[in-house]
Amino acid sequence: MSQGIASGAGARWAPALLFLALLALGAGGGRAAPRLPGEAVGEIPFVGNAGLFLDSEGREELYFCLAVPQAALRCDTLEGRAGEWARVRVELSGLDGAGEPLHTRRQKLDLPCAPGGDASAGLRRLVHLRAPWPAVSLDLEIRVMDEHAVRTGLIYQLRGEERRGILRGDLERPPLSTDRGLSSCIFLSDFQPEGFERRGRFRIAVADTARERVEPNPACGYGLLRETLLAYVEVYGFGGRGFDVRTKVRSLADGKTVLSDHADLEVPWQRSGVIYDADVAGLLAGTYDFEIELRPRDAGSGILSTHAHFQMIWRPESWGESQAELIEEMGLLIDPESLDRFRLLEPGAREAFMESLWADVDGFSLPGTWNGPARTLFAERVATADARFGTSLKRGSQSDRGRVFVRYGDPDEIQKELLPLERDQIANFMEREVGDAGRLESGGILRPNRMDASAYEVWYYVYRGDPLIPGAEPPGGGRSLKFIFADPLGNGQYRLIYSNLYGGMR
């Protein structure tokens, strides 16, 4: 049976905090079960990360942190409290091999809402919590549910299901031990220096004091908004004993070590928090592995190490876009198979991929900038498509007409039939204009019914239009392009039913 974590004065959950920075959004690597951190799917696309630590009694506990977008929550008044508040329920579950919950912890939180409406759209609430955790499973599911808002859709409304976000991922077990042990590594956005002793590039403090003074970075993102890496670990069982500590930063793109450091440390406490900082302003966009290694001075003691990935992100849009938005836009540029591989990349690796893509198109590379002519044209076309073809159901750039517009620009001619006469109905038009041979040759995807009186549009491009990425276009010589869109439901959602593009519009 699920067990809720205590609330009130005895609660073991840290308080929710306000976090004003825009965070990069995480994604799993190429694994069946993504490794945390990651971004939730659903109506609340929060970012989450977690680590395994020991509490003051030597028991394992899970320390996890979330960055929850305020724009995804409903703010309302609460009796006896000033201002508006979001009320959320957080559930943390350990999963078995089939993805079913083995045990679940729950907590309700009231988060103060910042005024400002659209001005606070980028605001994220930072929540960091800890919970006793059995050693059964480190395959995790984190859910955030908005108790003020119900999910859209008739079935959800009837059931009263709350808006939610769901994140699944796993953790690698660190070398935990009360005798000689090392926790997981988590990355920080900032910390309060009071209570920490400075030792070169390291700062040390009693673990309980340290945890109350650190501000986690759930997305593990550095670069444009933060150029100083802050890594936090806890060291157990080294009270009054020294050790050699070594750190290494390795690029996952090529496996090369780009930063390394070492120092001799001695901590006076049995449970110590250690912060390491490094200037990472010189690192290019990408995913990096940070490793910290302890080598005890005692003869015969083994080496302890733990590591975690962080992201270098320099593109301004990456700090404001969600994972879903970024994947939507990349779907306008690359084929479905490449898009599937792109989904599996971590955020920094995605940015590096995109930088390489635009550099190839423009014929030059400007690391950390996105002002090339092709990238600028792409952004302009996406904005235009969103404005022209958007509906309450879908972004305009994600509609079939929007995708063609982004790829080829404005057509040279558009034929519109809103209330076609019988001879001009779409089946008769396609028989005259296309025929079976043309449909089979070049990517026709629908044979309309002869009774179909739907509105439709025909877009004509002379000399293949103005391709966004000419080199990526399939063969077809210099013949003109034709695209036919129909609105079978009469709701403005025009579907592409035919194109003479070789292989079809992918």
The contacts of residue 206 (CB under 8 Å, 6+ apart) are 195, 269, 271, 272, 273
Residues 252, 270 share a domain: yes
- Is 324 part of any domain? no
- Is 340 part of any domain? no
Residues 228, 139 share a domain: no
Sheet with 304-313, edge to edge strand ranges: 221-223, 304-313, 286-296, 241-251, 257-267
Residues 380, 268 share a domain: no
Could you give the C-alpha distances from 309 to 292, 314, 346, 351, in angstroms and in order? Answer: 12, 17, 9, 15
Q: What is the CATH number of the domain that holds 293?
A: 2.60.40.10
- Is 343 part of any domain? no
For residue 155, the enclosing domain spans 1-172
- What's the pLDDT score for residue 383? 93
State the Rg of the chain over Cα. 27
Residues 158, 183 share a domain: no
Number of Cβ within 10 Å of residue 70's Cβ equals 19
Q: Which residue has the tokens 């940015």?
A: 351
Residues 104, 62 share a domain: yes
- Is 330 part of any domain? no
Backbone angles phi, psi at 422, to 5 degrees: -55, -45
Residues 384, 296 share a domain: no
Task: Name the domain boundary from 128, 146, 172.
Answer: 172
- pLDDT by residue for the chain (506 residues), tens only, comes to 222 222 222 233 332 322 222 222 233 333 446 889 998 999 999 999 999 999 999 999 999 999 999 989 999 999 889 999 999 999 999 999 888 999 999 999 999 998 865 545 567 888 989 899 987 789 999 999 999 998 877 777 777 789 999 999 999 999 999 889 999 999 999 999 999 999 999 999 999 999 999 999 999 999 988 999 999 999 999 998 889 999 999 999 999 999 999 999 999 999 999 999 999 999 999 999 999 999 998 866 789 999 999 999 988 777 766 777 788 888 888 888 888 888 888 888 888 888 888 877 777 655 555 567 888 899 899 999 999 998 877 889 999 999 999 999 999 999 988 877 777 777 778 777 776 545 544 445 555 665 578 888 999 998 777 888 766 555 555 568 889 998 888 888 899 988 887 655 65
Tokens at 384, concatenated:
């235009």
CA atoms of 431 and 232, how far apart (whole Å): 68
| End-to-end Cα, the chain, rounded Å | 48
Tokens at 503, concatenated:
């292989």
Residues 211, 110 share a domain: no
Residues 472, 392 share a domain: yes
Residues 149, 184 share a domain: no
Query: What's the distance, CA 31 to chain centroid?
Result: 16
The contacts of residue 433 (CB under 8 Å, 6+ apart) are 458, 482
Residues 393, 430 share a domain: yes
Structural domains of the chain, count: 3
Q: Which of 381, 372, 350 is nearest to 286 (CA)?
A: 350
Residues 36, 141 share a domain: yes
**Amino acid in the structure at residue 112:** P
Task: Name the domain boundary from 151, 172, 193.
Answer: 172
Task: Name the domain boundary from 143, 172, 201.
Answer: 172
Residue 418 gets which letter from DSSP? S
